[in-house]
């Protein structure tokens, strides 16, 4: 079987699911494989084929029953990933009107509120919380919702500003509003 994904991804089941990236590809955070929608569909079909193979066995014992069930579950899991990716609005989503980032000192986290012009995009998130650390903030940048990815850039900016303020002994920066001209 020709595999263009490279070594390392071949045996990965993409158990963490796939995430939308900025292009039209989906990324497995575990192995780094990037699949187009067709690649994801092929990945679903592979599970269906494996399941069908187990049903084609003539002799059925307890073990092969377990295998069948497992493979059926894998088909469902992959289909769910595919349906979720298909339902992500791509490209056409409305941009937010305003993003409010505030720092919660108690939880050492950022609370990010996304305000949309009406009508709000279907399924568009309005609130995201993220730990006040660069890694989790950067991880948000591969979120399937493009507006959450946009907001994560603003959280990153705010985080950098806040770090600077801490270094320069300024009064703590607690919130910042980003208006549409800054988004």
**Binding stretches for Zn ion (CB under 5 A):** 12, 14, 28, 30-31, 33
Rounded least distance, CB 10 to Zn ion, Å: 9
Extended strands (E) in 45-179: 96-104, 109-116, 127-131, 175-179
Comparing CB distances to Zn ion, the nearer of 16 and 123 is 16
Comparing CB distances to Zn ion, the nearer of 12 and 125 is 12
How far apart are alpha carbons 143 and 139 in whole angstroms?
Answer: 8
Q: Output the furthest CA–CA distance in the chain (Å, rounded).
A: 75
Comparing CB distances to Zn ion, the nearer of 46 and 157 is 46
Rounded least distance, CB 49 to Zn ion, Å: 19
Residue 92 structure tokens: 């056409």
How far apart are alpha carbons 13 and 47 in whole angstroms?
Answer: 10
Comparing CB distances to Zn ion, the nearer of 12 and 88 is 12
How far apart are alpha carbons 52 and 43 in whole angstroms?
Answer: 14
Strand order in the sheet with 109-116: 127-131, 109-116, 96-104, 175-179
Rounded least distance, CB 31 to Zn ion, Å: 3
Rounded least distance, CB 81 to Zn ion, Å: 11
């Amino acid at each position: 079987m020709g595999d263009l994904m490279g070594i390392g991804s071949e045996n990965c089941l993409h158990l963490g699911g796939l995430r939308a990236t900025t292009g039209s590809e989906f990324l497995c955070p575990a192995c780094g494989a990037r699949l187009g929608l067709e690649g994801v569909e092929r990945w679903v079909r592979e599970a269906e084929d494996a399941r069908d193979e187990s049903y084609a066995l003539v002799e059925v014992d307890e073990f092969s029953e377990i295998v069948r069930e497992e493979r059926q579950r894998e088909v469902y899991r992959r289909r769910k990933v595919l349906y979720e990716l298909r339902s992500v609005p791509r490209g056409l989503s409305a941009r937010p009107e305003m993003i409010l980032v505030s720092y919660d000192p108690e939880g050492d986290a950022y609370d990010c509120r996304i305000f949309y012009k009406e009508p709000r995009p279907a399924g568009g998130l309005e609130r995201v919380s993220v730990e006040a650390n660069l890694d989790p903030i950067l991880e948000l940048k591969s979120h399937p919702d493009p507006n959450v990815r946009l907001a994560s850039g603003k959280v990153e900016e705010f985080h950098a500003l806040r770090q600077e303020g801490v270094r320069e002994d300024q009064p703590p920066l607690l919130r910042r509003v980003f208006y549409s001209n800054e988004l």
